[in-house]
Amino acid sequence: MANRGPSYGLSREVQEKIEQKYDAELESRLVNWIIVQCGEQIEHPPPGRQHFQTWLMDGTLLCKLINSLHPKGNEPIAKISESKMAFKQMEQISQFLKAAEIYGVRTTDIFQTVDLWEGKDMAAVQRTLMALGSLAVTKDDGCYKGDPFWFHRKAQQNG
């Protein structure tokens, strides 16, 4: 978390409005999907926005997630670091975001690194993961793992 004091007035109101968009039920679904999708022994975080943020904050799980949506040998992120250095962790979040956009997540559905890193807008992080899950279910290319009913299928584009 950034070393910022408490916010007051308008900035506090804005932050509270952002926090109201966070969905605890959706958090549970996303955590379950990430654990199933990554297919490893990943520890389930305790429920809550801050635990969800801490769980994803180093970018490792996000990189493993986007890699798991590609066939073996075709993963977009070659090296996933488990570094404790802040800039490395933020770099991994950025790599995930770039890979998610290439995968097909719309730019408007992509969160900013600070949304996750500083916990500024965890609802935006949820939105990105929902869009990614929906795309994975829609692509139906055999890489998606998990319950297909966890996400809505995207309408197919006429192209």
| Domain contains 54 | yes
Structure tokens at 147: 């319950």
pLDDT in tens, 2-32: 455 555 565 666 556 666 788 889 999 999 9
The count of structural domains within the chain is 1
Spell out a b/e string for 55-69, using b for 16 or more CB atoms within 10 Å of the CB, else e: bbbbbbbbbbbbbbb
CB–CB of 131/151 below 8 Å? Answer: no
pLDDT at 159: 40
pLDDT in tens, 117-145: 999 899 999 999 999 999 999 998 999 99
| Domain contains 107 | yes
| Domain contains 2 | no
| Domain contains 56 | yes
Q: 145 lies in which domain range?
A: 22-38+46-150
| Domain contains 15 | no
Cβ partners under 8 Å of residue 96, min gap 6? 59, 62, 63, 65, 66, 77
| Domain contains 3 | no
| Domain contains 14 | no
pLDDT in tens, 83-122: 899 999 999 999 999 999 999 999 999 999 999 999 989 9
| Domain contains 59 | yes
CB–CB of 76/42 below 8 Å? Answer: no
Q: What does pTM read for this prediction? A: 0.86
Q: Which CATH number covers residue 104?
A: 1.10.418.10
Q: Tell whether the torsion through CA atoms of 102, 107, 113 and 119 is positive or negative.
A: negative
